[in-house]
Structure 1
Amino acid sequence: MMKARLFLFSLPMLMSASAAQAAEGSTDPLATDPDLAIWTFVVFLAMLAILSQVAWKPIMEALKAREDNITGAIAAAQRQHDEAKALLAEHQAKIAGAADQVREMLAEAHRDAETTIAKAKADAKAEFDAERERATRDIEQAKDAAVRALAERTAGLAIDLAGRVVKQEITPARQSEIVREALGRFGGNGPSAN
């Protein structure tokens, strides 16, 4: 290695000496000096050998390492891209499932609301019908009581009037008996359906 360095340092001096000799003797720019051509070829081969060991091998190794690094980075990026796509698809499926669940829950709530409304209407109608029936019974009872009271009073007035007309005295016991008989006949005819 040391010899190669000494040769490289002495080579320019040799080349400049032979170039000086060529310049003194020849004026033709296309003229070739065989010694200079040989030394140039030897220097080229020496530089080629030295650079292949010292520079090209590390440069090629560095380029190979960089290429491997870039290839690995591309592969890692592709894996991450594929993972991201899978995660995106999974999240989109979850979102679609959640949207379906929300629609299903809304439909169920709507059905529940309709059922509750229908039940409330049915309960209100049943309560209204029961209240109307109770009110009708109360009215019938009040009407029957009013008719009885009216019949008793009318019968009492009729007996008093008849007693005056006939001039006979009717005792309260006899009056009650007559009223019962009148009510019996009056009840037999039945109250008015109005």
Structure 2
Amino acid sequence: MRTHIQFYIMALTVMILLWGCKNEMVSSHFKENAEDWTIMGDAQGDMVQPTYTSQGGAVDGYIQAKDDAAGGVWYFSAPKKFLGNKESYYGRTLNYSLYQKPEKNKQFDSPDIILASGENQIFYLVEDSPDTTWTQYRVKIGTDTNWFYGNYKDKSEATEAQIKSVLSNLDKFWIRGEYRTGDDYGGLDEVVIE
């Protein structure tokens, strides 16, 4: 009898641990470094590496970039661990935190999250741009939120098939870092898909 109880306790413990691992699929917490994130667009003076800061952030450690004010939009580009066959992201939630400096003015619209597979892309539009303090975002990856297919000017609501097609061979995962016209800084922290 005692052996059976020990077995059930051990099995329950393993199930709980596996469930916890499954809940957080992939993440970047920036505790020790930039975790291979890069910058795409007009920031960092043509450097692709973000600036890593070990103190501060939504939680200790974050990455940031400085806008070159060259007229484009710059993004934080996710590393390989976020890419590949990620159809399992469908129905999951992308959590991340952003800040922008200086003050929140001269804001402009552009895709906030871009996921792409070759020429096929989906993008997300957030309700509000980040503040000068850390702003947390929770974005469900699915058809019941602000996901669109195609380019920004000719956008159409993304279908489940379009989203899953992009996710099945994901080669671009960008989170917008620039929200303001002119010089600015943007920071990213706590990127988690669960």
Calculate the TM-score normalised by the size of structure 2. 0.24
The structure number with the bigger radius of gyration is: 1
Q: Specify which structure has the higher proportion of strand.
A: 2
Ranked by relative contact order (alpha carbons within 8 Å, sequence separation 6 or more), the top structure is 2
Q: Specify which structure has the higher proportion of helix.
A: 1
